[in-house]
């Protein structure tokens, strides 16, 4: 606007027949143009310097966490930092941030516990570079370091309900190498009665707990500050289109590929399924893994939207590890925060010893096992497959099970499939490098051995970048 006014004034002056103004304008124009151009340059400089600093801060925190999980080499650190910078700048919606307009550099600190991320953004100033050479390029840097060795591998986010983290019967939650956090302020926020037991480096409860000294190693600390959701800023768009609809996998060997699965994915009893690496998005129906089936896959992330959920039935065999890159790197199972909070994600597998990655259910409950009342018999009341508009047709699974001569006790009832298998036992995570759970509530039932390892340093699956709750905490230092 200032430049436009100047042009109009200059045109009027040049038409002055006396010519005095024209001479003065001709002499003063370069100075005025330089002033306007310099002011514009510096406004651009300070605006973009702030955006680049935010990007550098985020990239440094994300990159330093790689040191705690894999002692990553320089090339890997560079890839992680570049990816985060690119994502941060793309979110600004500024087309000037093209891939060739800036350079990202990562340097590990001398003590090996931190990284410095630098960004140089190259631009074309109008005049400022004649006055101040430092405006070329615009630079930002941030240094982040690992802070201590306290890490959390189980967080119950619900802030007020009773039994926000609950064990029944003889259930075991083994988290000796990491910490457990329960956010509920209820007097019995943590419930560990009978012969059940929680072992952890530390157990912190915002409210109180139910259980004695034999149920814990060591006794919980009460009145702890609540912990914020460590991944609340991470989002993934809900699917708009479907790649597969009402998918059924019958007995025998089968392969699945990443994509959007709408209306449910049912793995029949006796099926042997391999999942190719990538992100599997589920909408409007469950990913239901039948009893006596086997499902395996490396580099896999499962995302559940529009009230879909994961249901792993008893007697199944599961071997899964999370993606190593992309927006869901390190996240094995996650759900949309918009999901119905009443949904139960259930893992009843007797053999899920490799379950490497983060289970992130910010608005849902994870139930491990199926003997909630502790009487040694599975409780099928909640074991129904759901699909938008009604129950899943399970005649395919029943028929295949019968043809193979499998002793699968299946019946239709309650609007879905019920698997009433007695003798509930579940083994989760014993062979995983690391397993972590962040959910609204966590229920571990009788007969379950849930082991949350924290061997981040030897895993090829990265810990999800966050504020430091999972894995080794990180902080900005410069």
Q: 55 Cβ partners below 8 Å, 6+ apart?
A: 84, 85, 88, 89, 119, 140
Q: Which two tokens stand for residue 403?
A: 């043809």
Measured CA to CA, the distance from residue 382 to residue 138 in angstroms comes to 58
Measured CA to CA, the distance from residue 207 to residue 204 in angstroms comes to 9
In the beta sheet, which residues pair with residue 197?
Answer: 172
Q: Which two tokens stand for residue 32?
A: 């005025």
CA angle at 199 for the pair 374 and 159, rounded to the nearest 5° = 75
Q: Which of 249, 253, 270 is nearest to 261 (CA)?
A: 249
Q: Which two tokens stand for residue 139?
A: 């630079």
Collapsing DSSP states into helix, strand and coil, what is residue 200? strand
**Do the Cβ atoms of 440 and 158 come closer than 8 Å?**
yes
Q: Which two tokens stand for residue 298?
A: 């490396």
Q: Please spell the DSSP secondary structure of 242-269, one letter per residue.
A: -SEEEEEE-SEEEEE-SEEEEEEEEE-T
Element holding 237 (H helix, E strand): none
Sign of CA dihedral 211, 214, 217, 219: positive
Tell me the CA distances in angstroms from 137 to 52, 118, 132, 189, one per residue in order.
12, 12, 11, 54
* Residue recorded with tokens 């570079």: 129
Reported residue count of the chain is 478
pTM of the predicted structure, to 2 decimals:
0.68
Measured CA to CA, the distance from residue 286 to residue 296 in angstroms comes to 18
Q: Which two tokens stand for residue 153?
A: 């591998």
Tell me the CA distances in angstroms from 174 to 151, 205, 250, one per residue in order.
14, 17, 35
pLDDT in single tens digits along all 478 residues of the chain: 444 554 554 455 545 555 554 555 444 445 544 454 455 555 666 677 788 888 898 888 878 766 654 445 677 788 888 888 887 787 767 777 777 778 899 988 877 778 899 988 876 554 444 445 555 677 888 998 876 556 789 999 999 999 999 999 999 999 988 899 999 999 999 999 999 999 998 899 999 999 999 999 889 999 998 988 877 766 677 788 999 999 999 878 999 999 999 999 999 988 999 999 999 999 999 999 998 899 999 999 999 999 999 999 988 999 999 999 888 889 999 999 889 999 999 999 989 989 999 999 999 999 999 888 888 778 766 566 665 444 444 433 333 333 333 333 333 222 223 344 546 788 899 989 899 999 999 999 999 999 999 887 778 888 886 545 676 666 787 7
């Amino acid at each position: 606007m200032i430049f436009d006014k100047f042009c109009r004034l200059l045109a009027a002056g040049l038409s002055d027949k006396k010519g005095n103004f024209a001479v003065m304008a001709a002499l003063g124009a370069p100075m005025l143009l330089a002033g306007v151009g310099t002011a514009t340059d510096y406004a651009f400089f300070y605006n973009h310097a702030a955006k680049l600093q935010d990007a550098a801060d985020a990239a440094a925190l994300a990159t330093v966490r790689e040191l705690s999980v894999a002692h990553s080499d320089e090339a890997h650190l560079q890839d992680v930092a570049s990816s985060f910078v690119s994502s941060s700048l793309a979110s600004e919606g500024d087309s000037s941030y093209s891939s060739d307009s800036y350079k990202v550099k990562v340097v590990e600190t001398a003590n090996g516990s931190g990284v410095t991320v630098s960004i140089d953004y190259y631009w074309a100033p109008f005049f400022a570079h004649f006055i101040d050479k430092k405006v070329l390029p615009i630079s930002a840097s941030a240094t982040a370091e690992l802070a201590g060795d306290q890490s959390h591998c189980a967080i119950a986010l619900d802030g007020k309900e009773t039994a926000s983290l609950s064990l029944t019967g003889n259930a075991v939650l083994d988290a000796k190498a990491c910490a457990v956090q329960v956010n509920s302020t209820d007097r019995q926020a943590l419930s560990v009665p009978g012969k059940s037991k929680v072992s952890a480096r530390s157990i912190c409860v915002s409210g109180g707990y139910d259980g004695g000294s034999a149920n814990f190693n060591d006794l919980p600390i009460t009145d702890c500050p609540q912990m914020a959701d460590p991944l609340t800023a991470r989002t993934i768009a809900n699917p708009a289109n479907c790649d597969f609809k009402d998918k059924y996998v019958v007995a025998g060997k089968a392969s699945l590929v990443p994509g959007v699965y709408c209306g449910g994915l049912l793995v029949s009893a006796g099926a042997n399924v391999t999942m190719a690496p990538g992100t599997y998005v589920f909408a409007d129906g469950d990913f239901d893994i039948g009893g006596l089936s086997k499902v395996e896959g490396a580099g896999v992330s499962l995302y559940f939207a529009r009230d879909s959920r994961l249901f792993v039935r008893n007697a199944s065999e599961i071997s899964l590890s999370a993606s190593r890159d992309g927006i869901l790197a390190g996240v094995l199972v996650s759900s949309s925060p918009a999901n119905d909070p009443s949904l139960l994600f259930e893992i009843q597998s007797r053999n899920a010893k490799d379950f490497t990655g983060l289970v992130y259910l910010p608005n849902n409950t994870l139930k491990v096992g199926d003997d909630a009342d502790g009487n040694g018999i599975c409780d099928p009341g909640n074991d129904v497959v759901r699909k938008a508009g009604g129950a899943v047709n399970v005649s395919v699974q029943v028929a295949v099970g019968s043809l193979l001569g499998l002793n699968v006790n299946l019946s239709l009832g309650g609007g879905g499939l019920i698997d009433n298998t007695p003798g509930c036992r579940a083994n989760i995570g014993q062979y995983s490098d690391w397993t972590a759970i962040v959910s609204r509530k966590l229920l571990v039932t009788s007969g379950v051995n849930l082991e949350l390892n924290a061997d981040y340093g030897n895993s090829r699956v990265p810990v999800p970048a966050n504020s430091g709750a999972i894995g080794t905490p990180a902080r900005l230092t410069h």
